[in-house]
A and B are shown apart, each in its own frame.
Chain A
Amino acid sequence: MLAGFQGLALAALGARLYYLSVVNGEKYRLRADKNRISIRLIAPERGEIFDRNGEKLATNTQDLRVLLVPEQTDQLQPTLKKVQEIIEIDDRRLARIERRIKRQRQFVPVTLAQGLDWQTFSRLNVEIPRLPGVQTDAGLSRLYPGGNSIAHLIGYMSSPDEEDVAKSPLYQLPGFKVGRQGLERRYEPQLRGASGTRRVEVNSVGREIRELPPREEAARGGDLHLTLDMALQRYVVEQLGEEAAGVVVLDVASGDVLAMASSPGYDPNEFTRGISNANWQSLLKDPRSPLLNKSVSGQYPPGSTIKMIVALAALEQGLISADSTYFCNGKHRLGNHTFHCWQNRGHGKMDMMEAVANSCDVYFYKVAEKLDIDLIADMAKRFGLGATFDIGVDGEKEGLVPTRSWKRIYQQQSWQLGETLNVAIGQGAMLATPLQLAVMTARLATGMAVVPRLVNGDQDVAAFFPTLDVNPFHLATVQRTMAMVMEPGGTAHDYARKKSAIAQAGKTGTAQVRRITLEERAGDGGVIDNAELPWKSRDHALFVGYAPVETPRVAVSVVVQHGGGGSSVAAPLARKIMDFTLAEKPKSPTPAGQV
């Protein structure tokens, strides 16, 4: 009987065995494969960013780093302690790592340290067996050789957050970064590339044992070619020095942005490495706002640089001719309000050439009295003010071109003639960005609706812009007034033209940021000199220009925040920048002057 029981039990075991391995064998074989085979992503190499001459603006360098997979470590603290014996991790960083480990999903690797040298890296590799969950990784890290001179355009990379991870599984890869700002963010899909896959056999804790073919390689991200000329960009940044300024240099024929600088800058490499809190705070608190890309995000009153637009509007309306003259005695009365010329004692009798060359305000008050604000606004918009061009960098602002309807909608008031007078000298509500001013200048220089572009500098887009449809004689008149600015007697001659071999055209602008009271004007010293004012109260210095006068190739705009006078501060900078640009051999893939 016992033997029977035994036989029965053995038969039961055999039946179960048969059931598992034969009847359900296929199912369990699949599950065993699912257990052991893991599909791993291969990180693609990120595309690089080049300037128009093939100089690297963003590239990848090998980065030796050490990672920790929280899930695979049995005891976090002792493991971290052991790693600390080999590499230095300061307490604050350690605290940050621990916070991240708590926050993240446990299988996402956390970077403990990066940028290791070979010696430390090999020591770590030797110690790996007694450091559960710790991995070393020779990955790629983003490097910006241009440093702070192009930070505002390129942006930077940082670790992906939960939102990114939801978009693509690639972002879960250790050390994989996502473009955070500027071109890096805007062109993220193109630069990132496509992940490859490989099948690996893993053991129960997920450690790789071997790779099983086939392997699908990752597709490298596409490169980005900019229209930027890095040599020029560096020169511009160097010239700006410590000033808070925005500069844009355009190729007038193609609209290529040759330089787009904002000063002061910051080092994007610091963000890629993980910026320290102290440095971040100092960037945030700096009154010269280094994080702001002033060339597209800075909105300034255009000052006298708007005068060409006002003159052109009046000419097009047939209200005045180039020869029409007005008398400037230093002030202009409208009702019971007095409008002052910057030249207190007055300019005397002025025609349009002299008025622009001297930047006479009274002349433009009188012209503006005849003009409707909407006519000025219309002309300003035709020349690119109030518009964005979507060139690919962050924070492009629209500026402001005030109109009657704008005032009705936003201030629930009707337009006053006095405001037109203010706008006519570039004060009042009107605002423009350096990019818009550069576009305006390029359009004044060519009469074409030049559109700026920054990316795809390698692609030869047909740069035939439509005409702006203004009377060529009127345009030529305005162009001549701009040339006069640089001639003897013009506001920029002494500061700029006489030092240059190339004939340039331009216009100075000085934008007030404070209200000048009657008492101050009447006082002994007259209007207080910029140098005696606190930085925040000083005028913005502006200059727009193009060169050469006869066959324009380059347009430039310079805005120096609280820099003082447009003649003394902005004009010399613009002169140097134009000289530098034209002195370079034309290497542009879209040759200038082809139009």
Chain B
Amino acid sequence: MAATSLQNYTLVITGAPYSSQAPQTALLFARAAIAAGHTLDRVFLYGDGVHLASSLSAPPSDETHWAKEWARFLKDNAVPGVACIASALRRGLVNESEKKRYELPASNLLEPFIIAGLGEWVEGTMASSRVIYFHAGG
């Protein structure tokens, strides 16, 4: 494959794990993209997609733990994973600082995900050559 055809992707995941296929389809895409020499600028979790960044999901042991799988992939490949703050706060996904700000009883953001604004998505659309959306569908 010619070097000129290599892409820098931003992935946007809006479907939640365990209610949609979106996070696992996105992960398979991400692995294939890296394997083919492409790069990932960032992964942005939006809407129900923010549930992927919860440290409190505990699926049965014979099922894939999509949050952990994604977290490992992001760490291994040094790809930033960002959960939209407005989507996250509505759905009960908070880091330590938001926990303190809203005086909530717990925080549950899985490393290496971070929480930030939609500006991160805008930057992704500007910085990457392709933006791919993974929706719940239906």
Chain B associates with chain A: no
